[in-house]
Amino acid sequence: MLVLSLWAIPALIFVIYVVRLRPAKTAAEDSVTRSISIHRERLADLEAQLAAGSLTEAEYKSFRLEEEKALLADTGHQQAMTRGDSRLPWFWAPLLMVFVFALASFTYSKIGAEKAVNVQQQFQQISAGEEIQPEALDQALNDYQTLLESQPENIEGWFQLARMQMDLQQYEAAYNSFAQVLSELRKVDHNADDEATILAYMGQIEFSLGKLEQSLALFEESLQFGKSNTALGLAGRVAYELAQYEKSIDYWTQLKNANPNSDTQIIDGFIEQSISALKEQGIVYDPGTQVTVQISLPAAWQGLTSDAILFVYARPVGQRMPLVAKRLPVTGQQMTVVLSERDSMSGAGFEGLDEVEVTARVSLTGVANQQPGDWLGDVAIAALSESESSVSVSIAQP
């Protein structure tokens, strides 16, 4: 159908040209011819009036000059039309049509329409549940990739290709496609969660390929942009495989805290496995007292630059010096941060305290000391009577 259209449209344009423009041109030529004849008649009439004495010499010259100017202009129009006919006679029309057809065919086959139609037809067969040979499926993906290579900015297309490649366990190809998505995504305004999702997919691929260290690095980068159950769970799994047991406990604990209403029995089992592994190494795992802080930021957080840093800290009630603190990138309007003994600034942690003040601050320049223009959070009191405590802190713009 598309091929037929490419041939039919130029033909239709040519017919319109013949049927409508040619009569219009003929009418224009007739009009100019009549105008020239009228100007010549007026010149002859002016000479007759001068001879009869009804016009003075000055009036005659003035009127004749105006008529001669108009006659000269119409004569120029007539000559231009004549030259136009000599430059493009009728036998050029078929040649012009052949050129248009050739150009349309070239555009269709070379620039991408033909490939787009082929890919669409192949995917329609796949989605319809028709039996597709593996070779045909590979060809469909290869054709789709070739098409997308001419459209590198097509983020949605590259993402769809990456997901299909990943589902078919074409991991290396999927990784490259996700890398293309990430590259293009970072060139435009986007949601931080989207970046986190792509990084998590890339981490899963590296894990499937057995590249554990690269996988963990990607999951950790993903978690800087947004907390997802997938990234937290798999980061804990990869850390466990790398014998980084305390880190695996930390990620699985964050996963548990992020889903307080879910059945955490499986997560608790994973944590126990890491604790047992540490025990076999002669290490007694003691997380100490922990405070979970739910951070809320204003909607304008998306306008922050990469220099902005979130500081979350706990201090003795009524004092300014923090006991424990964390320094994190701002990755979302809602963030969950866990403060523990491992975040101690002096080694003492929460020792000897029944409660602490918890607050947060967004430094626009990343400087630890408070600066004018920083976004400040309110102060919440966290009771330390239990091993785990939870508070909420809201941050506001100045």
Residues 90 and 195 in one domain: no
Cβ–Cβ under 8 Å, residues 334 and 295: yes
Determine the pLDDT at residue 79: 52
Determine the pLDDT at residue 111: 43
Instruction: Name which of 331, 281, 280 is nearest 302 in CA terms.
Output: 331
Residues 161 and 276 in one domain: yes
Residues 239 and 159 in one domain: yes
Determine the pLDDT at residue 316: 92
Residue 329 lies in a domain: yes
Q: Which of 249, 280, 311 is the last residue of a domain?
A: 280
Q: Which of 260, 280, 300 is the last residue of a domain?
A: 280
> Which element (helix H / strand E) includes 33?
helix 22-52
Residue for token digits 């430059």?
Answer: 87
DSSP secondary structure of 177-240: HHHHHHHHHTTS---HHHHHHHHHHHHHHHHHTT-HHHHHHHHHHHHHH---HHHHHHHHHHHH
Residue 298 lies in a domain: yes
Neighbours of 64 (CB within 10 A): 16
- Give Cα 374 distance to the centre of its chain: 30
Residues 172 and 262 in one domain: yes
Determine the pLDDT at residue 7: 46
Residues 31 and 91 in one domain: yes
Residue for token digits 């330390």?
Answer: 384
Residue 129 lies in a domain: no
Angle between helices 134-149 and 113-127 (to 10 degrees): 140
Determine the pLDDT at residue 317: 93
The first and second tokens of residue 159, run together, are 């993402």
CATH number at residue 271: 1.25.40.10
Residues 208 and 104 in one domain: no
Residue 184 lies in a domain: yes
Determine the pLDDT at residue 18: 46
Determine the pLDDT at residue 24: 47
Q: Which domain holds residue 36?
A: 2-110
- Give Cα 237 distance to the centre of its chain: 31
Residues 276 and 366 in one domain: no
Cβ–Cβ under 8 Å, residues 123 and 140: yes
Residues in the chain predicted with pLDDT less than 70, given as ranges, are 1-36, 39, 60-133, 260, 347, 387
Determine the pLDDT at residue 83: 46
CATH number at residue 387: 2.60.40
Query: Whole-angstrom Cα distance, residue 228 to residue 236?
Result: 12
Determine the pLDDT at residue 52: 75
Determine the pLDDT at residue 329: 86
Residue 138 lies in a domain: no
Residue 372 lies in a domain: yes
Give per-residue pLDDT as tens, 10-20: 544 544 444 44
Residues 315 and 384 in one domain: yes
Query: Whole-angstrom Cα distance, residue 304 to residue 295?
Result: 16
Using CA atoms in the order 263, 264, 266, 270, what is the torsion angle rounded to 10 degrees?
180
Q: In Å, how far are 160, 180, 282, 398 from 231, measured between CA atoms? A: 20, 20, 29, 33
Residue 119 lies in a domain: no
Q: Which of 110, 140, 162 is the last residue of a domain?
A: 110
| Beta-strand pair 324-329/355-363 | unpaired
Determine the pLDDT at residue 148: 87
Residues 351 and 243 in one domain: no
Residues 31 and 13 in one domain: yes
- Give Cα 48 distance to the centre of its chain: 80
Residue 136 lies in a domain: no
Domain total of the chain: 3
Residues 182 and 266 in one domain: yes
Residues 272 and 294 in one domain: no
